[in-house]
Each structure stands twice: as C-alpha cells, then as structure tokens.
Structure 1
Amino acid sequence: MNKAKLGKVAILLLGMMIFWISEPLWQVQADSLKMEYKNPKKAKKGGTLRVGYINNGAFKGIFSPEIADDGPTLELAQFGMVSLFKIDPNNEFKRGGLADISFDRKNKTATVKISKRAKWSDGHPVVARDLSFAYEIVANKAVGSSHYSEELENIEGMREYHNGTADKISGLEEKDDKTLVIHFKKMKPTMTTTGSGYILESAEPYHYLKNVAMKDLVASDKLRKKPLFYGPFKIKKLVQGESIEWVPNTYYYKKPHIAKIIVETIDNSKAVAAIKAGKFDVMLAQSPQIYNALKKDKDLVQLGKKTYYYSYMGFRVGKLDKDGNNVMDKHTPSSDRALRQAMAYAMNVEQVTKKFSSGLSYRANTVVPDVFGKWNAKEVKGYKLDMKKAKKLLDDAGYKLQKDGYRTKPNGKKLTLTLMADDSSKSQEETIKNYIQQWKELCVHVKLLNGRFQEFNTMVEKLSSGSTDYDLWFGAWGVTPEPTDIANSYTVTSAYNNGHFVTKENTELINSLKSDKAFDEKYRLKQFHKWQAYMDKEAFVVPIAFTHDTISVTKHVKNMSLDPNKDNDLWVDVALTK
C-alpha cells in the first residue's frame, strides 16, 4: 500500500513472502497491473469505507513512527500517521508539505519550516518542539528505539544525548515555534532524499507526552490507545491487535470524502471469502495466492505496482557485544562463507515459483530492488539452483559425509543448523519444508527452532534482541525510497543487522556511499554496485524475491491509487459511489 514516508530504514514485514519467478514471461501479467482505479461514477459524501488487512498475527499497535518497527502497525496507521514533507517523483523533498525543508551545505544545516496548516488531532499546532521531541525519543536509550542510527549521530550532540552525557541535543536549534534548524557534523549526498535516515520525517506531540517518562513511552496508553495524529484521520475506536475505526481529523486542512474508515485484520485463509461476501471495500497486503483467487472476480479491480521490498534468507554470523554493537563470531556454524553459498545454490527457486508466485514476484539478484532502476547492480546474478556446485563447495571446504547421510563440519564435529521461520501462511510452511528437503539432498542437517514455526512477533523479538539460539532465518524488508540507505542496515551499529555481519571491507564500502566523493552520483553508483557484489559473494544475506504489491478494490470505490506521489492526500481523495 502507499506507506507513509516517515524516515529511516526498512521495516521487518509480516511473513516472508517467498515467491519468485525465473522467466521474464511470468512477469507479463504483473506488469499489466494498473496503479489507479479511475471510477467514472459520481462520488457521494460520507459513508464508511471498510478495509481488510491480511495478517495472521496481531499488530503491535505502538502508534509512533520513532518506535514502531513492525510493518503491520505502520500499514494500519497510514490513515493518520503521515509524513511532514512532500516528495517529488524522484523521491526528493519538495515544497508544499505540512513542513518544508531546505539544506545549506556550506553551513552544514537543514532548516525545517512548519506550516500553519499542521495541527494535531486535539487542535494544538505542530511546533518545533514536537520535531525535537521526535529526535529525543529515537535517541533516548530508555525508549529502546530500533531507529537510532549512525546517520542520526551525524547531528551535533546526538551521540552525547544518546550516551546520557547531555540532557539535550545541541544540534537541534528551535529558532521559533515554527522553525527547527538542524546542525550536522558533515553534509551527506543523500540527505535531500526521503528515507535517507539523516532526517526524521515525523513529529511527536510534546504537549501531550511530556509528562510520560521515556522509559514508559512504549507501554503508554497515549501511544497505544489514544494517540494523536496530524494526518487526515484520527482513531475513534481501537481493538488492540485486531481493528481500528478512523474518523476525520477535524483540524486537518483538507476534509476527507469518507466519514469513517474501519480497518480490520483478517486471517489469510479467510480473506477471499470475506471480500467476495462484501465485508470489505478494499483488501490490503494480498499474497499472490489471494490475488490469483480474486483476479477474475467481475466485482473487483486489481491494482498493483513494483514495491520497495526484498525477501531474503539470513545467516547469523555474529552476536551483539556488551555495548549493543554487532561483532562477528567465528564459532557460529554459519560463519563459513562456503557453507552459506552452498545452501543458497541448493534452493530450488524455479519449482517454488511455479507453485506459489501467481506471476507477481521474481527472483532477486541483490538486496536492492530493481524498482530502483540503475541502482540495482544487474551484473550481479545472485544464486540459482546448482546442486552440483553446492556439493562441490562443501566437498572442497572439508565437510565430510557420514553414514547417516549428513555432513560434519571441517573439524569433524556434527553439523546441525537451526532455522527460524514464521507461520504466516500454509505456502510459507510448505516452502520452508521444501528447502529443508533440498538441504537434506545437500547432506546438510537443518531443523526448525524448537521443532516448529514461530509466531511473527516472537521472531521479531529474537532477531532484535541478539538471541543466539538459531543459525539462519527467513524474512523480508520493506525499504525506504533512498536506495543506498539499504546498505545502512548492515553496519556495525545498525539494529537491523540481524546477522551481525561486520568486516573492514563492508564498513569501507558503506562509508564510501556517505563520503564527500559520493556527492558525485557516478562515484556513488559505482561504489553501490561494488557493495552489492560484495554482499553477493559473502552471502550472509541471500536475496530471494522482488515483488509487486497488489490490492483488491470493489467497484463502488473511487480515487483509489497506489501512486506514491499522492503523498498524504490518498485517503482524503478516496470516496464511495454508493
């Protein structure tokens, strides 16, 4: 769906939609999908729009872009939680938003001017203190936000505040109620692009939250049950983890056509029957199977587009140190690059594609979705099924075959890898079992963590907490519109570097993307391709699929669009015709 561009990186998505295609002709159907439904019928005023969101688990429901780290919550919050800034077709900041931002390379500053139109859903104006407060929430260790990053540490005084040696962030200068000047240590080439991570694109209501201790914010009812928004809608009723009733924010500068939006999570297995029975007007987060089941329904329109997404297989090659930084651990079973590469070559993606993709997804060559065009290193081919090559890699690396049909480590000790995967769908479970069988053919013993598939939020907690009871996992990232920001997920300090991969070469390549040389786009592009080739060689994250987002829309909905340049106005414009 049209995600709010709220800044910083990837959000771990629900489920791991493992769907590929290996032949270009499979993509013809997906490429013919339209992004917008131009319903010629006259819109009526008011009405209730019923939105289904396919999700087999409960959404966390922390309505703060500085804290939320699960895709479902951000998807369900998009009706009220929007970006402060407008974005042009090249994903650059432009004027005309709820706030405008300008950059001064010489003085190493960014100036944010807040519009008089920006008001919280309780009527209070959005002010500069609200913007500063958002940075404090991300940086305060008591909150534990996963969005704190090296990019934000480029702000003067950010590190000192994060470490507790300063009680304010010196680089945030509130010139007046409507102006925030941000002072940087260095200017970076991607700062002017949404999602680069150097700028937060959201605010938090200081007047509403100031009396809540930072350590209590995550659990506070003010964020979980009665949050404030400056977008077009606000929450009227909430059933935690299940549904939200949205009504217009009367203080928003535009009046929506719709009088009420009820968004409800629904199990994957019940989604098709529900929309066919008329329970929903719009269905979000469709799997290819659901798209396939609905694409010929005459009462529905299918919209779709390539999305900023990649699914992947990750290997845990390290751990967190006492300071929460990522460090390599040569004692982890998956620390051997030859083993990682062999397991990638053993995956039978073509068979999985034919069974599950419905023509919507295709094999990923790198961790940079090809929706980014030239930024995707097409010369990097990724991993295709080659069992002969996979076995030779292990033979050459000294993995010996035993009487039980499995291999030992090169040191002669038993090799068993523990796999963590979520229970998002039946096809997901079938696919994982298939891969375990493929690895059995490779003579590598892989078992599920605790002998079962994991609940999604449990899996997210393990990935983010530095748990060491698994060796590999399957997941997916929704990434920001700034392509080189993808690399920032794999740094020494990144909370998203769940495999804890750290090498001198990786660090140097990532740093080169942020250097003064990188203001030259040709140089930045060259280095970014080098980084993708390095990631491919190391295979600690093996990209699996790029995909299309699809939604189902009933024919009495008007102005529904997947165009990302609709900015905050999508849900203002959507209307019903009956």
Structure 2
Amino acid sequence: MRKSSLSKLLLAMMLMLLLVLAACNGGSDDADSESDAGSDAGSDTEENTDEESEEGIYSIDDFSTDKTSEGEAIDGGTLNFGLVTDTVFEGTLNWNFYSGAPDAEIIGLFDEPLLSTDNNFNYTQDGAAEWEVSDDNKTFTFTIRDNVNWHDGEPVTAEDWAYSFEVIGHPDYTGVRYDSTMTNVEGMEAYHNGEAESISGIEVVDEKTLKITFIEANPSLIASGIWPYAMPKHIFEEIPVAEMAESDAVRQNPIGMGPFKVDSIVPGESVTFTANEDYWQGTPKLDGLTLKVVAPETVVQALETGEVDLVDSFPTDQYPDVAETMTNVEFLGQTDLAYTYIGFKLGKWDGDAGEVVPNPDAKMADVNLRKAMWHAVDNDAVGKQFYNGLRWNANTLIIPAYPDYHDPSIEAPTYDPDLANQILDEAGYEDVTGDGIRENPDGEELVINFASMSGGDTAEPIANYYIQSWEAVGLKVQLLDGRLQEFNTFYDRVEADDPDIDIYQGAWGTGSDVDPSGLYGRNAQFNYTRYASEENDELLAEGASEASLDIAHRQEVYKDWQQLMVDEIPVFPTLYRAVLVPVNNRVTDYSIQWSWNGWHEVGVTEETPQTVE
C-alpha cells in the first residue's frame, strides 16, 4: 500500500475515533469529560502513557528557517518551484489587484516592495528605498535608490510609487486594497470621492523622492503599514483603472523590479522566469526558474522525483509519511503568519458606502448559537490527529507570531459539548419534533449551510468532523451544495455574500502588520462576516492611533479587542499553524525568514535535482 493511501486510511480511522468521542462526551454528565478527548483520540486503551499518546506529534521548534548549503553553487542553472494548490491560480499578477495567496507567491518572484523589514516586521533602511519620518510621525520621506529599475529598463520613480496610491484610491478601482490604511493618507478620501483631482498627502519631490503625509500618526506605519509597492506608470497610465485588473499588463505581460523577469505564462498552470541581470541587488546566480502548480495529492511524488526543487508550503498532514524517507530534501519550518477559522455570515457588504451592514435578523445573529458551535468542536484533537501537532488550538485572532500583542491568557471557549448543549437549551434552541435536531427559538426548522474549501487529504474529513460535532449537540449543518468548494469559487461566493452561505471555514494570512482592521474593520472588504459594532470600531481606531505609539497602551487595546472577539464571536479561530518548506539538497542560500529577500543569492550545486533513491 502506498503511503498516500495509508495516510487516507489513518485519517479516516482518526475521524471515526473523534466522532465516537464527540458522541460519547456529548451525552455525558461528567463535566470533565472533554479534557480527555484530545489525548485519548486514536488510543486503543485508557492505560496508554502520555509518551505513547504523543507519539508522532511534532513541534515547529524542531525545524530551521535557513537551508543548509551542501557545497558550492555552480554558475547558472535553473530551479523548479512548486505552487501547491488543488486549483489553477487566478493570474492577477500585480500587487495592487491580486487577492489570493497563490498569485502573491508568483508576484513575489518578479516584483518586490520598495521597503524591507526585519523579523519583527518593522521597516529597515536595507530595501530599494530609504526613509525618514518627521518629528510628529506623520510625514515620511522616501528616497528610491538610483539603480532600481523596472524590467524594461525604465527607472522606478517616485511617480510610479505615487501612482499606486492614485490607482487604489480611484473611484473605479476594482481591487480590495482601499481600506483604513489608505484613508489615513491625507486627502485620499477627497480624491476617492471625486472631490479632488490629486491626493494632497502625496508629494513627488523629485524623480526618486516621494513624501507621504498621514492624517494620524499610526504605530503600524513603521511596522509594514505603508503601501510599499510601486506601479509602472508608463505602462498603466493609458489603461482605464476599471480595466487594469483584466489587462495584459496584469495577466499576460507583467513586469516588476525583482530578481527575475516573467518570460512566459501558461494561464493558471505555470510561469517561466529568466534572471534580471539589472537587478538592484546584483545579477541572480540562477539563469532562471519555473513555477508550476502542483496538486497536494502529488506533491510528495513531485519532490521525490525532482520534478520540483521546493514548494511554497508542504501539506503538514503528509509530513509524518515522509519525515524519514524523503532524504533528497531538507525541511525548513516556522510558525505561519496565518490561522484557520470558522466565520459566521452576519450581514452584507454595501459597495456604494464602502462598509459592512450588519443584519440583526441573520440566521447566525444569536451569539449564543455561535458560542455553542465553538464549544462543540475539539480543535486541539484536530491539530494533533490531522496535523500531528504542526497545527494547534487557537484562542484569539491575534496570532503568536506577534508575541508583543498575542494574549495567551484569554479564556476562549474550548471543547465542551455539555456546555454547548446547555447554552442552546437556555437560548431556546430545542428539539421540538423529537428527531434529535434542534429547531430555532421560534420552533422553525434550522438548517445551517456550511461552505468549506477543497484541498489535500484532510479537507473533507475535517469538514465532516465539524459537521458531525455540531450534529452531536443537535444542530443540522450541511455542506454548501453538498460538496467542498474549490478555492476561487469559495472566495467568490463568500465575498459576494452568497445568501446560501450561513457559515464558512476559511484561513487568513495576516501579513506582517498586527493591526486587524484590514480584516475586521467596518470599512474592510475582507471583513467577510460583515460584523460591525461601535466597540469594535473604537478599539480598532484606538489601536491604530497616535496614543498607541506607546507599545504598552497598544498592548492593552489589543488585549481588549481580542476579548471582544471572544465575546462577540463573529468568527472563531480554530488552528494556528506551522509552515513547512522542503528544499532539494542541491539548493543553496535559501531561507524562509520573514525578513529574507535573497532570491538573487540562491544557487544550485548541480544541474539536476537530487531524487529519492
């Protein structure tokens, strides 16, 4: 039996055990029964020791972020990069317009920010542009280095950087980057509303110098909170803003200022790059590279045979199958800037007003229903059984990768089906018909439509586990259309507030800025739950205020915000996670550190990838 088949069988067995535990604990009178679910799942007897129950559980602390270089790099050579996804990439290849992580991976190979960051996500002076800030922390002056050029040879100018702001702020802009960080630019809202022809807070001083003035001194400004991407104005200025996202300049012939140039694109499948000999940090060691889509189901084979040298992210559920046998790669790892979550649809997006509109009559509007659904699932067991400890239970919406702000002491709902049943009983969700399924407080049938994405061996069993866990406390939850949704379809429907979706399982890459307003603010298009409240508005505004330049003050604000999200539950986080990146042994000088910007230094020690013998 192949390892992939064995993995699926084991996953099915784990799921069955989890469901049995959920069913047993759901009817138990023992208030402490839930505390044993995570450790006992998958055990044959209660006599197993802690050591035995943790067998096969890994820790992110066991991995390095930097590739060990085994030998000297040869001159030139090419490298194959795998983009792990079960669907085609969308192909919106411009920072101003992309919306999905697969496209971001591609863009990052040929374009890059003008500002660099350190591993604490603060801007440094080592990037393509240097910067100064005024005494009041509101005006930033940026100077682009003289040797920074676009792939067509034109210099990257202050006009190009200013143009990004002008496009994002334009009334006809079709992307999702117009948010509170943009409206903090002086004059941006007047420009966006058609009341001004230019943005007063954007000043092009000379060809290489840009000055940006913000309304408020926001602590996020020096922590990855300034839009750092230029846009080649000489290419886009003749294209109407409303048509840019679908133009050839984005879809077919994108250019950037990064170490590689786009040579050719097979839409949705692959991109071939050649070295940018005029790159500002120096000519890349590699002659080029090819990015290709690799399905999660075939990623192991692609790595073992050398079809790809590395991938953007390896499915952690498959790691135990290859931890000892895939000897041709080195696995790198770190805590991901991401989390998975269950979101509740609580309103609609008003595109004209540019804000969410909560619906007090939404099916999921009762916080008691949402809280019970959180208590009904055992995320600790999911992390151990499906991801072998490389994903783990999440308690708040600010992730541990922000140690100054993540509050591990917040007591979020944990697995307690007895309490879930009690909450539902007291809130009036009762089984009126005697079929084991609860009706709503008005005695009407309650059917909750659940949207979840396809992808990898674990996607379906985990979705089924959540459904069965909710059924164990009397809630009828069914998959949207009776099946998992592929990536692009899923987000298209969630973003469009499809009325058939009541809850959904999503994942957020948080980016490098701790400020959560871009995901949960009233004016954030990414606020897919469409939740808003005055207290949420106030806390998010305070966390981004001048007063929060004092780190201690900002920590208190975000502690309060994390608690508010636990109390209100527009979403509940399920798992924090590790990111694993296998890299072929022939690859040198590669790193996954957040501050790393060294693709031009990456090389290979031999012409062809090493394979598993």
TM-score (norm 2): 0.87
Q: Secondary structure at the match of 1:371?
A: coil
**Aligned with residue 435 of structure 2, among 400, 404, 411:** 404
Deviation at 1:348, TM superposition (A): 2.6
Q: Structure 1 residues 333-342 or 321-330, which shifts more?
A: 321-330
Counterpart residue number, 1:165: 195
Distance change >3 Å, CA 371–CA 106, structure 1 → 2: closer
Q: Does 1:336 align with 2:363?
A: no
Counterpart residue number, 1:575: 603
Structure 1: stretches of 5+ with no match in the other structure: 1-17
**Aligned with residue 481 of structure 1, among 481, 498, 512:** 512
Work out the CA distance in 1 between the residues paired with 2:137 and 2:377.
Answer: 52
Deviation at 1:161, TM superposition (A): 1.7
Counting only pairs closer than 5 Å after superposition, residues 485-500 of structure 1 correspond to structure 2 as 485-500=515-530
Q: Does 1:95 align with 2:125?
A: yes
Deviation at 1:355, TM superposition (A): 2.7
Q: Is the 8 A contact 2:123 2:223 kept in 1?
A: yes
Counting only pairs closer than 5 Å after superposition, residues 326-365 of structure 1 correspond to structure 2 as 326-365=356-395
Counterpart residue number, 1:467: 498
Distance change >3 Å, CA 267–CA 399, structure 1 → 2: same
Deviation at 1:30, TM superposition (A): 2.3
Work out the CA distance in 2 between the residues paired with 1:433 and 1:27.
Answer: 23
Counterpart residue number, 1:315: 344
Counterpart residue number, 2:297: 269
1:107-138 deviation digits (Å, cap 9, x = unpaired): 83111111112100000000111011111221
Q: Is the 8 A contact 2:131 2:140 kept in 1?
A: yes
Instruction: For CA contacts below 8 A with separation 6 or more, give which structure has more relative contact order.
Output: 1
**Aligned with residue 291 of structure 1, among 319, 323, 327:** 319
Distance change >3 Å, CA 555–CA 131, structure 1 → 2: same
1:64-101 deviation digits (Å, cap 9, x = unpaired): 11111100010122211211112233322121311112
**Aligned with residue 557 of structure 1, among 564, 582, 587:** 587
Amino acid at match of 1:373: P
1:138-158 deviation digits (Å, cap 9, x = unpaired): 112322111111221111221
Q: What is the CA RMSD across the aligned residues, in angstroms?
A: 1.9
Work out the CA distance in 1 between the residues paired with 2:141 and 2:57.
Answer: 44
Deviation at 1:28, TM superposition (A): 5.1
Counterpart residue number, 2:249: 222
Q: Secondary structure at the match of 1:565?
A: coil
Q: Is the 8 A contact 1:369 1:376 kept in 2?
A: yes
Counterpart residue number, 2:259: 232
Q: Is the 8 A contact 1:137 1:145 kept in 2?
A: no
Q: Does 1:125 align with 2:152?
A: no
Q: Secondary structure at the match of 1:335?
A: coil
Work out the CA distance in 2 between the residues paired with 1:138 and 1:378.
Answer: 36
Work out the CA distance in 2 between the residues paired with 1:341 and 1:107.
Answer: 41
Deviation at 1:207, TM superposition (A): 0.6
Counterpart residue number, 2:423: 393
Q: Is the 8 A contact 1:99 1:113 kept in 2?
A: yes
Amino acid at match of 1:104: S
Counting only pairs closer than 5 Å after superposition, residues 44-83 of structure 1 correspond to structure 2 as 44-83=74-113
1:154-175 deviation digits (Å, cap 9, x = unpaired): 1122112212222221211111
**Aligned with residue 145 of structure 2, among 99, 115, 124:** 115
Counterpart residue number, 2:237: 210
Work out the CA distance in 2 between the residues paired with 1:335 and 1:105.
Answer: 46
Q: Is the 8 A contact 1:157 1:170 kept in 2?
A: yes
Distance change >3 Å, CA 465–CA 164, structure 1 → 2: farther
Work out the CA distance in 2 between the residues paired with 1:430 and 1:107.
Answer: 50
Work out the CA distance in 1 between the residues paired with 2:292 and 2:370.
Answer: 40
Deviation at 1:106, TM superposition (A): 2.9
Q: Is the 8 A contact 1:113 1:179 kept in 2?
A: yes
Q: Is the 8 A contact 2:379 2:392 kept in 1?
A: no
Work out the CA distance in 2 between the residues paired with 1:259 and 1:108.
Answer: 43
1:484-522 deviation digits (Å, cap 9, x = unpaired): x12442111101110011111111111111223212111
Amino acid at match of 2:197: D
Work out the CA distance in 2 between the residues paired with 1:532 and 1:22.
Answer: 25
**Aligned with residue 303 of structure 1, among 309, 326, 332:** 332
Work out the CA distance in 1 between the residues paired with 2:70 and 2:488.
Answer: 42
Deviation at 1:365, TM superposition (A): 1.1
Work out the CA distance in 1 between the residues paired with 2:273 and 2:410.
Answer: 45
Work out the CA distance in 2 between the residues paired with 1:125 and 1:112.
Answer: 15
Q: Secondary structure at the match of 2:423?
A: helix
Query: Considering only CA atoms, is the larger Rg found in Structure 1 or Structure 2?
Result: 2
Percent of aligned pairs sharing the same letter: 28
Work out the CA distance in 2 between the residues paired with 1:98 and 1:27.
Answer: 42
Q: Is the 8 A contact 2:38 2:381 kept in 1?
A: no
Q: Is the 8 A contact 2:168 2:178 kept in 1?
A: yes
Amino acid at match of 2:404: K
TM-score (norm 1): 0.92
